[in-house]
Structure 1
Amino acid sequence: MRIIVISDSHGNFKRLHWVIKRHLDSTDLFLHLGDGLQELEDIRCLYPEQKFLAVHGNCDRYSDEKLTRTIDCNGNLIFACHGDIYGVKSNLDKLKAKARMENASIALYGHTHKNFTDYEDGLYIMNPGSITLPRNGLPSYGVIDITKAGIAMHTVEVERF
């Protein structure tokens, strides 16, 4: 199973659409971590057969999406949030504790606009960064592959356009 993780597109439909089109044929799930759900709604209309999930970000004023989600992907639980309610700009302690309470093997968050991956005591952690307004390099998004052999994840940096 392949999951593309996107966060913090902040109104940039063109950049979000570029990522979606690039992975349409190879992805089982697109997961948006907030602050860009208005353009995600437009994308959902263009690709109604594709699976899109999202969580509410602090800038998503009129979204009905949940603040957090726990998703079962082939027996692996993924805890997803935007991150602001867990204080991720200070540290990841609350996020990791909540993910472990949910029995998740993967914790995903956005909000900081800084891409990041880590593995700590059985918990994979990822922030895909921002595809429009990065704060530590180039625009980026995340890729997670879940197979029988295990979990592999990385962030992909892309040129600005």
Structure 2
Amino acid sequence: MRIVVLSDTHGNYFNLESIILRNTDADWIIHLGDGEHELDNFILSHQKLAPKIIHVAGNCDFDSLSEDVFILPALEHKILATHGHHYGVGGSLERLKALALTNGCDIVLFGHTHARYQSFEDGLYILNPGSASIPRDGNKPSFGHIDISPAGIVTNIVDV
């Protein structure tokens, strides 16, 4: 199973479209917030892909009707997806990790910081794909992949 993860597109329709159209074979595409407007426009023009797209609300997705947290079962795993601004991800991941463990999740996805991050800690695979538009970590715009197979879980961050 392949899951594509992107975040913080902030109006950059070109990068959002490029990422998704390069990965149409993914089982799921998860947008972690701050890009709902361009994602809605993409879905309107690519309705066949809509059933595999999940979105959570970011702090800049004003008047969003999307959830703050989404939990997705993926084979024998559970993925927690959130933008992260309500969980203090700019300073610490402890609240986010506690939320994941409380909900039985072993994969945690967040955005908000515009900085790439991937690790395995406390039994959790944690991934922030960075920003697909405006990175703040000195890297190029990016997105992530999660591959889940019987052999295990692999996370990867890719330049746009």
Please state which band the TM-score falls in when normalised by the shorter chain.
over 0.9
Report the AA paired with residue 157 of structure 2: T
Alignment of 1:12-31 (within 5 A): 12-24=12-24, 26-31=25-30
Range moving further from structure 2, 44-53 or 93-102: 44-53
Which residue is 2:47 aligned to? 48
Listed one character per residue, the Cα deviations across residues 11-61 of structure 1 (whole Å, up to 9, x for unaligned) are 11111001111111x211110000001111111122222210010000000
Listed one character per residue, the Cα deviations across residues 128-160 of structure 1 (whole Å, up to 9, x for unaligned) are 0001100111111010011111111111123xx
Q: Distance in 2 between matches of 1:5 and 1:46?
A: 20
Which residue is 1:148 aligned to? 150
Identity over the aligned pairs, expressed in percent?
43
Report the AA paired with residue 18 of structure 2: W
Q: Distance in 2 between matches of 1:146 and 1:43?
A: 26
**Following superposition, which runs of at least 4 residues in structure 1 exceed 4 angstroms of deviation?**
none
TM (norm. structure 1) is 0.95
Q: Distance in 1 between matches of 2:133 and 2:144?
A: 14
Report the AA paired with residue 7 of structure 2: S
Which residue is 1:133 aligned to? 134
Listed one character per residue, the Cα deviations across residues 62-91 of structure 1 (whole Å, up to 9, x for unaligned) are 221000011101121000100000000011
Which residue is 1:2 aligned to? 2
Q: Distance in 2 between matches of 1:121 and 1:86?
A: 17
Report the AA paired with residue 44 of structure 1: I
SS in 2 for 1:43: helix
When the two chains are superposed, the root-mean-square deviation of aligned CA atoms in Å is 0.9
Q: Which sections of structure 2, spanning at least 5 residues, go unmatched?
A: none
Q: How many residues align?
A: 157
Q: Distance in 2 between matches of 1:99 and 1:93?
A: 10
Q: Distance in 2 between matches of 1:75 and 1:61?
A: 34
